[in-house]
Amino acid sequence: MTAEPAAQPDERRRVVNRTDGVAAWRQIADGIEADIAEGRLNPGDQVAPEARLAERFGVNRHTVRRAIGVLVSRGLLRATQGRGTFVEAEPLAYPIGPRTRFSEVVTGAGREASGELIRAREVPADMILAAALGLTPGASMLELVTVHRADGTPLSTATVRVPLPRFAGFDRHYSSTGSITKAFQSCGLADYTRASTRISARPSGPEEARLLDLKPGRILLVIDSINVDAAGQPVQATRSLFSADRVELVVES
Amino acid sequence: MTAEPAAQPDERRRVVNRTDGVAAWRQIADGIEADIAEGRLNPGDQVAPEARLAERFGVNRHTVRRAIGVLVSRGLLRATQGRGTFVEAEPLAYPIGPRTRFSEVVTGAGREASGELIRAREVPADMILAAALGLTPGASMLELVTVHRADGTPLSTATVRVPLPRFAGFDRHYSSTGSITKAFQSCGLADYTRASTRISARPSGPEEARLLDLKPGRILLVIDSINVDAAGQPVQATRSLFSADRVELVVES
DNA sequence: GCCTATTTGTTCGTATGTATC
DNA sequence: CGATACATACGAACAAATAGG
């Protein structure tokens, strides 16, 4: 891996003020945040190693770690053991509307969209799901778990359920195209719209954290939606988990 | 202190299975969750004291505490030292649409809505806010911090900003009515609609946790919205913080 | 596969100022 | 005033992950 050229905004020694009552770690955190806000550090850039920052600010490495820690916990930085600490991308504004398509949103933001099928299996519909999709409980459904990325960074993971006699082979089509829209087209469904959307939030579990390349416990936005075809027939029940650090939802009115 | 009548769903001894490889605390947690899901424990009910549960399941009280701990952290239960552990209310389905009114949503769910003014002050508009509201930077605004409750339980806290020459006395009107809608009416604005909505999520800070009667670190849904009058003129910029444990957002299409 | 350098992650211990009772 | 708790900061060492040769 060719490391990105570490853009160092200012190599001069910027000693912290030890008399103004502001904790050293906070001054350092504010300094790094200002570097990001004012473009001296850009998304994807590597922050100088902790040891270098400690020297530059004239403090112990622990103090730098604390500053970096609060910025990581606020989602501005991402630290990876052995690699370094990097500036996170701005949260992507993700429209929630009747016709939102992941790939359109991401490419519209000038980023490269990709979708990966993690696994697919046949499951019986439980009572809640059957009611939502207008099926009889126990009816056979296809369940796909997918991960969606922008420029390689996972933004969301989704559990998609489609009724089975109608959409046989959906998993194969999704796997080859990486797009829900195209998989539906391959199954003969040209268009679909979102009928209902519910939004909640909770911390990520270990499995979800792994799929999204997050630390467990980071916050997820949970979006439950039902999509219907042109005739109003439900064709898809989806639970999408978005990293709250990486997207911001925009409601279209 | 008058404790609610402790509704005990099933006093029979339900010993945990110690051979199936599922941890005892998880079996107990699943059992309590099933009691809630299947109506044997209802919102507001007191869960049996830890000691009683420990006896019933044939485990140590520590094991019960772990089970309760995970349910508390998932927002299904609320434990208060000295009082007991209680079942939390179902998350309230809160519609996000062009004409959402807090009081209508809450009373429509059969609960009693109330709004409290925490503080109000005059502030100059910063650049971002001025752009959003169509003002010149530095223009005077009224900033209100409010808390909104359903049946006495805080659901959200909001920071409301209105342009000042136009809505002088807004804070007084809000304080006496407890309703944003009525305060606008008292200022001569009969109607307004939501122009833009952005949703994100983050952990609560200490101040917000206090206002919402939450533990710091619990998850908040952050909703930034701009409201406009009938002429399309922006009249209000609001940041609402909802407890993710107590509401679920429903997007109206 | 192995070795090494780099970098973050973790855990000891120590010291100091500040707020609270 | 002393006692205590807490946040802050420094020092040293080692563990663990990654990248490159």
Question: How many Å from the CA of A44 to C1' of D15?
Answer: 27
Nearest residue in chain A measured CA to CA from B244: A201
User: How far apart are the two ends of chain B, measured CA to CA in Å?
Assistant: 46
Asked whether the beta carbons of residue A199 and residue B250 sit closer than 8 angstroms, the reply is yes
Indicate yes or no: pTM above 0.85.
no
Residue appearing with tokens 């001054």 = A27
How far does the CA of residue B190 sit from the closest CA of chain A (Å)?
21
One pLDDT digit (tens) per residue for chain B, 253 residues: 444 444 445 555 566 676 676 778 888 888 888 887 777 777 777 888 888 888 778 888 888 888 887 777 777 787 776 677 888 778 889 998 888 888 888 998 888 888 888 888 888 888 888 888 888 888 889 999 999 998 888 999 999 999 988 888 889 998 888 888 888 888 888 888 888 899 999 988 778 888 888 877 789 999 999 999 888 889 999 999 999 989 999 987 6
| B104-B108-B109-B112 Cα dihedral, nearest 10 degrees | 60
Phi, psi (deg, nearest 5) at residue B171: -65, -40
CB within 8 Å of A145: residues ≥ 6 apart? A117, A118, A119, A120, A157, A158, A159, A160, A211
Asked whether the beta carbons of residue A251 and residue B200 sit closer than 8 angstroms, the reply is no
Q: Which two tokens stand for residue A188?
A: 């003969």
Mutate which of A94, A251, A252 to disrupt the B interface (most B C-beta within 10 Å)?
A251
Angle of helix B50-57 relative to helix B61-73, nearest 10 degrees, comes to 120
Chain C, protein-covered positions (CB within 7 A): 5-11
Residue appearing with tokens 């420029």 = A151
For chain A, how many residues are written?
253
Q: At CA A239, angle to CA A234 and CA A241, rounded to 5?
A: 150
Which of B196, B200, B244 lies closest to A202 in CB terms?
B244
Asked whether the beta carbons of residue B249 and residue A198 sit closer than 8 angstroms, the reply is yes
Chain D, protein-covered positions (CB within 7 A): 7-12, 15-20
Q: Which two tokens stand for residue B165?
A: 């020459």
Write out the H or E segment, with its range, that includes residue A247: strand A247-251
Give dist(CA B222, CA B134) in Å, integer: 23
- The answer, for A99 touching chain B at a CB cutoff of 8 Å, is no
Residue B84 is classified by DSSP as E
CB within 8 Å of A115: residues ≥ 6 apart? A102, A103, A146, A147, A148, A149, A174, A178, A179, A180
A5 CB below 7 A from strand C atoms: no
Q: Which two tokens stand for residue B252?
A: 């109206």
Pairing relationship of beta strands A234-243 and A219-229 according to DSSP bridges: antiparallel
Asked whether the beta carbons of residue B200 and residue A194 sit closer than 8 angstroms, the reply is no
Query: What are the tens digits of pLDDT across the range A27-58?
Result: 999 999 999 999 899 998 999 999 999 999 99
A65 CB below 7 A from strand C atoms: yes
Asked whether the beta carbons of residue B202 and residue A97 sit closer than 8 angstroms, the reply is no
Residue type, B23: A
Mutate which of A199, A223, A246 to disrupt the B interface (most B C-beta within 10 Å)?
A199
Give dist(CA A98, CA A233) in Å, integer: 15
Give dist(CA B41, CA B19) in Å, integer: 28
Query: What are the tens digits of pLDDT across the range A135-180?
Result: 888 889 999 999 998 888 889 999 999 998 888 888 999 888 888 8
Give dist(CA B71, CA B27) in Å, integer: 12
Q: Which of A214, A73, A252, A251 is nearest to B222 (CA)?
A: A251
